[in-house]
Structure 1
Amino acid sequence: MTGVPISGATAPVADSTGNWVDRHAPEWSRPYLRLARFDRPIGSWLLLMPCWWSAALAAGMAKELGQLPLFCALFFVGAFVMRGAGCTWNDITDRDLDGKVERTRSRPIPAGQVTAKQAAAFMVTLSFIGLAVLLQFNNFTIATGIASLIIVAAYPFMKRITYWPQIVLGLAFSWGALMGFAGTFARLDLVAFVLYAGSIAWVVGYDTIYAHQDAEDDLMIGIKSTALLFGDRTHAALLVLYGLAVTLLGTALLLADSGWFGWIGLAAFTVHLVSQIVRLDIHDSPLCLKLFKSNRDAGLLLFIGLACDAVARTMT
């Protein structure tokens, strides 16, 4: 594929990664699919996990499974399209910075495959799809979902002003921990907020691992992150963050009166997080990426436990 001339120069073209987008998608659609990260769906899965946790935990508390399959399906679609919209917004705001970082310089906008205006139009389209999904819920859930957009809009700018942008990411990526309760009960109680707080700590932890891939480039161009803040103390920081996540999630399960299946799911989740800390080498970028991606499996372990607990509670 030939680069698009920009200001008399030829912009770099996004590298082929050999995924389904490069192999099967129509050529015209590939830059847009890459903008939405549909070629790299791990972020969508991580956004989805708190949604599924809250849906399963709320179903168990209500002892009603009727809405759980529908909620899980709606959250699945919503997570993928809204993560796509969020990534597109991030690429629009970071288009100058992305060209200076090795891992991001081949993204569609700095590579000259799409313009910022084209990306914005694509983002609006994804947002309307997300709105269509949101409108399937009750009015309280709709309002709760819309409120998250403030955090999503602010996130790309945080890395310029604070070493804790991962907290803002956690606020956004954990919002689904509120949505299941909003959809089930049309209100938010203490259980929902404790689950939300636990998810935030989890997100800050796993995104710190992810950020170590870009630590050297970020340092050179003045981008801040918890990876740079923690440095060689990352293992200790992860012990605190993941420990806080497990403690808060366990508190949510206790408040929700979860049964053994829920606690087994949390135990499996905990073992997975501990294994990440043990295996982590912050100077090994491929390993950092692998451990970051493995958090989808950690999240699924907890969800399976919560879903089994919901089923068990409806049978008592």
Structure 2
Amino acid sequence: MTRNNPPRQLRARLLDYALLLRLDRPIGSLLLLWPTYWALWLAAEGMPQTGNLIVFTLGVFLMRAAGCAINDFADRKVDRHVKRTKDRPLTSGRIAPWEAVALFAGICVLAFLMVVLFTNTLTLYLSFGGVVLAFIYPFMKRHTHLPQLFLGAAFSWAIPMAWAAEAGEVTRLVWLLFTANVLWTVAYDTFYAMVDRDDDLKIGVKSTAILFGDADRAMIAVLQALVVLILVLVGRQAELGAAFYLGVLAMACLFIYQQHLARFRHRDGCFRAFLNNNWAGFAVFLGLVTDLSMA
């Protein structure tokens, strides 16, 4: 055995940790990343500080991984009854519950140290809210049909943090952007919840997909329309130009395409609609960066 060939058991354990943290599925990190970048670029009115860009890019990936660990801890007993999640490392017993909690705590500490060392006091205070939201979200699906709303708040908390780090304050425009992202998260995570709706109904897990019932696509469309409207208001208040609005228009067109993908409510179509939101977030970011670079 050589140093370059670690034991098979160690490789298997590291792979299970990677699967627990969803390192093989970056879609969640990307859906967190684009709104964070919206906030950084808007707060800077152009290219943000390099330090903030690095901290929040790494922070997004770290906190998403932490969220996955605590989510699987919370769902370890119900995931075995869901087709999509029954083989996850924690559910199948390949990783112990305490390991998931330890990973969550360790990653949160690492992200917190980054905030302490490289940002300001206001961002530090805001970071506590982010940790609380990341921890409580996974448990909400047992108590309310609106766990997606808590996910939206957790996924959006990087917006005021990024703005505070870049601008040293939090303005009303921040909360407008925050609201748009919360609504967008509820919309795309309802598509995601539609994938598991049949299993969730059997085991008693709650979601907006169950709450909306046959009106699911209509409610998603309403949420998507509100997202577009609020982003237009953001553009007006920030005095942005045509390139930004083209990005918002591209997002609206992708929303229509998502409705088409999920028209039959099949698992695959709903999941593809969920994944397509990565491009919707990127379209707005591209429009914003283009507009600010032309200013």
Distance 1:222 1:177 in 2: 33
Match of 2:55 among 65, 74, 77: 74
Deviation at 1:128, TM superposition (A): 2.4
The aligned residue for residue 125 of structure 1 is 106
The aligned residue for residue 79 of structure 2 is 98
Distance 2:80 2:39 in 1: 38
Deviation at 1:72, TM superposition (A): 3.0
Segments of structure 2 that go 5 or more residues without pairing to the other structure are: 1-9
Retained in 2: the 8 A contact 1:201–1:244?
Answer: yes
Q: Work out the number of aligned pairs and report it.
A: 285
Match of 1:244 among 216, 223, 226: 226
Higher relative contact order (CA 8 A, sep 6+): 1
Retained in 1: the 8 A contact 2:146–2:206?
Answer: yes
1:66–1:106 Cα change, 3 Å: closer
The aligned residue for residue 278 of structure 1 is 260
Deviation at 1:278, TM superposition (A): 2.7
Pairing of 1:246-265 with structure 2 (within 5 A): 246-265=228-247
Deviation at 1:297, TM superposition (A): 1.0
Deviation at 1:59, TM superposition (A): 1.9
Deviation at 1:66, TM superposition (A): 5.2
SS, match of residue 104 in structure 2: helix
Distance 2:51 2:283 in 1: 20
The aligned residue for residue 32 of structure 1 is 17
Retained in 2: the 8 A contact 1:199–1:249?
Answer: no
Deviations 1:6-36 (A, max 9, x none): xxxxxxxxxxxxxxxxxxx932201111111
Deviations 1:158-189 (A, max 9, x none): 11111111111101111122223211221111
Q: Output the TM-score relative to the length of structure 1.
A: 0.86
Q: Output the TM-score relative to the length of structure 2.
A: 0.92
Retained in 1: the 8 A contact 2:261–2:272?
Answer: no
Segments of structure 1 that go 5 or more residues without pairing to the other structure are: 1-24
Pairing of 1:155-234 with structure 2 (within 5 A): 155-234=137-216
Deviations 1:195-237 (A, max 9, x none): 0000111000000000011000100011111111122212211
Question: Percent identity over the alignment?
Answer: 35
Query: What amino acid maps onto 1:117 in structure 2?
Result: W
The aligned residue for residue 87 of structure 1 is 68
Deviations 1:233-284 (A, max 9, x none): 1221112100111111211121111122221211111111122113313531
The aligned residue for residue 32 of structure 2 is 47
Retained in 2: the 8 A contact 1:191–1:255?
Answer: yes
Retained in 2: the 8 A contact 1:31–1:108?
Answer: yes
